[in-house]
């Protein structure tokens, strides 16, 4: 078993450098309001939309979706070397990066190690369910769990953000429609999931899709099929794997899904979770009130959420 040893402290240094490489976050604070900005290479500083506009004279749009998907990125990246990152990231609340995706598609059992632990043979075609956008949550907000849920579980996942509308795309061209990547926590109420024998209800509860901390453009991710993935609960490592263990690769997921439905700019595809979830343990350590779940993915950063039972 070749586990990947990985911690946020040893995240590889990311170079924004020339153009096209960027991290974009939605942020809020009293002064800035609800806006977005570009995150510095080290992940600690931020230039807000309005500061960027002031510094460069480029009238970038109010809506983050327009900024991301209407061709502004190239022009903005050209100016990155001259801008000054005027805020500390800790001054702002990071918000869910895409506020209103037309859909959030999630894969089930798409890691060899997770499928093995669940006693299932991996599928050769994507097995999917949809999470509603009302489940979206900010990267450091509480996960609010209804009191009737008795078996609450965590699932660390790489989420793909689609950058342009696409239908029936071949695998070789599928990555061209990817805008970037982020972390998704596919929070799961196992008791509901298995009672229903389908996944949607147990994974649709409001706040059950924390994601972020920002969007990392695809150019910053050299190989999305080789990223370390780690989940800690109250500091204890629970998941420690790699996207190299994904059954259906990202390009094949996109190609296959695009034969079923039109993928639209801003859509989120969460690519499944590796081994280590509570339900696969001999004595499952389900999440309790007050637990802190921290998910780190190489190149994509870290999100951390507290569990609060209603």
Residues at the interface with Mg ion (CB under 5 A):
155, 186, 273
Nearest to Mg ion by Cβ — which residue? 186
- Other beta carbons within 10 angstroms of residue 148's beta carbon come to 10
User: How many Cα neighbours within 13 Å face the side chain of 38?
Assistant: 26
SS3 state at 44: coil
Nearest residue (CB) to Mg ion, 68 versus 187: 187
For residues 254 and 201, give the distance between their C-alpha atoms in angstroms, rounded to a whole number.
Answer: 24
Tell the smallest beta-carbon distance from residue 129 to Mg ion (Å): 9
SS3 state at 198: coil
Tell the smallest beta-carbon distance from residue 199 to Mg ion (Å): 8
Tell the smallest beta-carbon distance from residue 49 to Mg ion (Å): 32
Nearest residue (CB) to Mg ion, 83 versus 118: 118
Phi, psi of 297, deg, nearest 5: -130, 130
For residues 160 and 300, give the distance between their C-alpha atoms in angstroms, rounded to a whole number.
Answer: 11
Nearest residue (CB) to Mg ion, 186 versus 294: 186
Tell the smallest beta-carbon distance from residue 55 to Mg ion (Å): 40
Tell the smallest beta-carbon distance from residue 157 to Mg ion (Å): 6
For residues 160 and 166, give the distance between their C-alpha atoms in angstroms, rounded to a whole number.
Answer: 14
Nearest residue (CB) to Mg ion, 46 versus 108: 108
Nearest residue (CB) to Mg ion, 138 versus 186: 186
């Amino acid at each position: 078993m070749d586990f990947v040893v990985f911690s946020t402290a040893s995240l590889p240094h990311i170079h924004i450098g020339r153009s096209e490489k960027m991290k974009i976050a939605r942020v809020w604070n009293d002064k800035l309001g609800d806006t977005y900005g570009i995150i510095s290479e080290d992940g600690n500083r931020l230039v807000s939309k309005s500061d960027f506009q002031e510094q460069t004279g480029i009238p970038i749009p109010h809506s983050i979706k327009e900024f991301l998907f209407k061709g502004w990125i190239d022009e903005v990246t050209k100016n990155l070397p001259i801008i000054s990152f005027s805020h500390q990231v800790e001054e702002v609340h990071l918000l869910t990066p895409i506020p209103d995706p037309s859909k959030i598609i999630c894969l089930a059992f798409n890691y060899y190690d997770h499928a093995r632990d669940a006693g299932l043979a991996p599928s050769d075609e994507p097995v999917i369910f949809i999470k509603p956008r009302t489940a979206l949550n900010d990267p450091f907000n509480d996960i609010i769990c209804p009191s009737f849920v008795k078996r609450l579980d965590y699932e660390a996942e790489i989420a793909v953000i689609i950058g342009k509308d696409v239908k029936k795309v071949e695998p070789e061209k599928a990555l061209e429609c990817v805008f970037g990547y982020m972390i998704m926590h596919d929070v799961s109420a196992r008791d509901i999931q298995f009672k229903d024998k389908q996944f949607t209800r147990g994974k649709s509860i409001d706040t059950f899709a924390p994601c972020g901390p920002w969007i990392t453009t695809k150019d910053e991710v050299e190989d999305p099929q080789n990223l370390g993935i780690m989940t800690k609960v109250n500091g204890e490592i629970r998941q420690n794997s790699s996207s190299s263990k994904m059954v259906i690769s990202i390009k094949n997921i996109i190609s296959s899904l695009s034969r079923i439905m039109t993928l639209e700019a801003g859509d989120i595809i969460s690519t499944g979770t590796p081994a280590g979830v509570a339900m696969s343990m001999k004595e499952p350590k389900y999440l309790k009130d007050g637990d802190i779940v921290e998910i780190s993915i190489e190149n994509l950063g870290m999100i951390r959420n507290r569990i609060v039972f209603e």
